[in-house]
């Protein structure tokens, strides 16, 4: 396998983009990535999208977007693993370059979620859970993560305040990200006083409904050097699945797919949790970030809440987590999220993260998760 580098990134402002269709949002982003990479031709494209069918009534977006980018006849493939779709699109782009089947690949993600009624958006997102054993009985994602939160509080003494601290930390970071949907600070009190969604989770514990896209360009490290690009090397990839329904898991506070995907990525990269300088994780709900820290081995089992309280994951902490603002502040257009995480790590390793730059970051990691943890994909990156 060849060494692979990320040489271009593209992302536009996320939010409620009512003046733009899915095809417009994605093509703008893809063109930015091509421009950043300094290339105008690619060999292949992978696009993560969770449910363009349910959200905007359009499947077959691989053909649509290749067409609207003027890139036909290149192969283009849409990938779906719920909210981990973007990360998996990147993994497939990586594989294609690593094998030598393609030299330059675009990996992107897109979701347009705000043009459906509230009922439909929650329904569409709910199709990432086990419909027969969860959805049909009325469970949606805030409810599923509320069950996880309650179990974590019960088992490990995690506090309501610690959950709020995750949101507050991520919004503090996101306030420095001009592309974030909600680029402003929220205090722990704001979170504690916000409206209840699914006890114990309040609205400021939840990531928002977002329109947005993200795209990166991948090529071999050799080609990146020839093109005179700063090399951000992909040194590890891992993907895994777990029981889709919470009721089938031995311990609902433990994210086994995240543990397995992290393990595979660490092993491939030859790195350990303590080698990671900056980390982007899937904080779809505040409790998720706490559980992910534990499953990735950043902290011990049950210690995720305490770690946030002690500032371990703050910008000035030992391992800054979600400098981009995370899903919480940056927004969560589900299919695009995994790619945006990779963009943030690329910018951090390139030293281009501006006001939210993590000092001396040379190794970064991403963790992107589908459903209530039924699938996860992790990547590790190193600057040359």
Rank residues 246 and 287 by Cβ distance to a copy of itself and give the closer one. 246
Phi, psi of 109 (to 5 degrees): -150, 150
Chain centroid, CA 281 distance in Å:
6
What's the closest the beta carbon of residue 244 comes to a copy of itself, in angstroms? 5
First vs last C-alpha separation in the chain:
18
Residue 83 is among the residues annotated as catalytic for this protein: yes
Rank residues 74 and 227 by Cβ distance to a copy of itself and give the closer one. 74
β-sheet bridge partners, residue 218:
6, 105
Chain centroid, CA 80 distance in Å:
14
Ramachandran area for residue 371 (φ above 0: left; ψ -120 to 50: alpha; else beta): left
What's the closest the beta carbon of residue 124 comes to a copy of itself, in angstroms? 7
- Residues forming the site for a copy of itself (CB under 8 A): 1, 21, 23, 50-51, 53-54, 56-60, 62-64, 66-67, 71-82, 88, 92, 95-96, 98-101, 123-124, 127-132, 135, 239-245, 248, 256-257, 260-261, 370-371, 374-375, 377
Annotated active-site residue in 171, 282, 332, 379: 332
Residue 332 is among the residues annotated as catalytic for this protein: yes
Burial readout 35-60 (b: 16 or more C-beta within 10 A, e: otherwise): ebbebeebbbbbbbbbbbebbbeeee
Whether residue 278 contacts residue 346, with contact meaning beta carbons closer than 8 Å, is answered with no
Strands 104-111 and 375-383: unpaired
Rank residues 242 and 280 by Cβ distance to a copy of itself and give the closer one. 242
What's the closest the beta carbon of residue 193 comes to a copy of itself, in angstroms? 33
The residue written with tokens 């590890």 in the block is 236
Rank residues 101 and 196 by Cβ distance to a copy of itself and give the closer one. 101
What's the closest the beta carbon of residue 280 comes to a copy of itself, in angstroms? 20
Rank residues 240 and 321 by Cβ distance to a copy of itself and give the closer one. 240
What is the distance between the alpha carbons of residues 103 and 217, in angstroms, rounded to a whole number?
Answer: 10
CB-hemisphere CA count at 13 Å for 39? Answer: 26
What's the closest the beta carbon of residue 61 comes to a copy of itself, in angstroms? 8
Instruction: Give the residue numbers annotated as catalytic, written as ranges.
Output: 83, 332
């Amino acid at each position: 396998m060849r060494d692979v580098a990320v040489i271009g990134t593209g992302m536009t402002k996320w939010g409620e983009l009512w003046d733009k269709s899915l095809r417009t949002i994605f093509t703008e982003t893809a063109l930015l990535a091509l421009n950043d990479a300094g290339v105008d031709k690619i060999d292949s494209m992978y696009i993560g999208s969770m449910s363009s069918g349910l959200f905007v009534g359009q499947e077959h977006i691989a053909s649509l977007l290749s067409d609207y980018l003027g890139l036909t006849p290149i192969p283009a493939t849409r990938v779906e693993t719920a909210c981990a779709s973007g990360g998996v699109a990147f993994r497939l782009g990586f594989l294609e370059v690593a094998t030598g089947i393609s030299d330059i690949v675009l990996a992107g993600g897109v979701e347009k979620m705000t043009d459906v009624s509230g009922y439909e958006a929650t329904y569409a997102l709910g199709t990432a859970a086990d419909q027969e054993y969860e959805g049909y009985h009325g469970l949606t994602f805030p409810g599923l993560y509320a069950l996880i939160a309650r179990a974590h509080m019960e088992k490990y003494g995690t506090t309501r305040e610690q959950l709020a601290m995750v949101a507050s930390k991520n919004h503090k970071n996101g306030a420095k990200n001009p592309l974030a949907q909600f680029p402003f600070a929220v205090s722990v009190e704001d979170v504690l006083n916000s409206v209840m969604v699914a006890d114990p989770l309040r609205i400021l514990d939840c990531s928002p409904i977002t329109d947005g896209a993200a795209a990166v360009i991948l090529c071999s490290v050799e080609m990146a050097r020839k093109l005179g690009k700063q090399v951000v090397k992909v040194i590890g990839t891992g993907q895994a699945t777990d029981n889709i329904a919470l009721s089938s898991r031995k311990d609902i506070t433990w994210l086994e797919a995240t543990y397995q995907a992290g393990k595979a990525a660490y092993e491939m990269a030859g790195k350990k949790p303590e080698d990671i300088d900056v980390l982007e994780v899937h904080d779809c709900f505040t409790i998720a970030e706490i559980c992910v820290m534990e499953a990735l081995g950043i902290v011990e089992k049950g210690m995720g809440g305490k770690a946030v309280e002690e500032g371990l994951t703050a910008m000035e902490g030992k391992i800054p987590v979600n400098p981009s603002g995370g899903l919480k502040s940056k927004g969560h257009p589900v299919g695009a999220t995994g790619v945006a995480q990779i963009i943030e790590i690329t910018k951090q390793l390139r030293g281009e993260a501006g006001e939210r730059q993590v000092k001396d970051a040379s190794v970064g990691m991403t963790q992107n998760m589908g459903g209530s943890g039924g699938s996860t994909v992790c990547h590790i990156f190193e600057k040359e």
